[in-house]
Amino acid sequence: AQKITQTQPGMFVQEKEAVTLDCTYDTSDPSYGLFWYKQPSSGEMIFLIYQGSYDQQNATEGRYSLNFQKARKSANLVISASQLGDSAMYFCAMREGGYGQNFVFGPGTRLSVLP
């Protein structure tokens, strides 16, 4: 069964510093996608970044980058130059190839950015 682990229930970071949120996954499907979502206190889930299992390069989207280590089955999110508005819950998720409901979410990490 596919599984996502986020070992950090909570993280603190100083404003303007970089922070890494950990995510490890488990799957036997060679084709899969990894996603990160942000959920601020208002509740909406915002899609941040995607990494495909066959991608040779780490994904980047603005201040977000994904440190993808396929052999270790890890897909850590790096946020550079943290801002107060980055304070939120962050969820790692995985989708395997094929049809149907094959999406699984991790338990989340709560990030607090300190002024």
Binding site for another protein (CB under 8 A): 29, 31-33, 35, 37, 42-47, 50, 52-53, 91, 93, 95-101, 103, 105-108
**CB-nearer residue toward another protein: 108 or 113:** 108
Angle at 73 between CA 69 and CA 76, to 5 degrees: 60
Report, in Å, the least distance between residue 35 CB and another protein: 5
Report, in Å, the least distance between residue 43 CB and another protein: 4
**CB-nearer residue toward another protein: 18 or 54:** 54
Contact 69, 78 (CB under 8 A): no
Report, in Å, the least distance between residue 30 CB and another protein: 10
- Residue 76: closest CA among 27, 3, 6, 26: 6
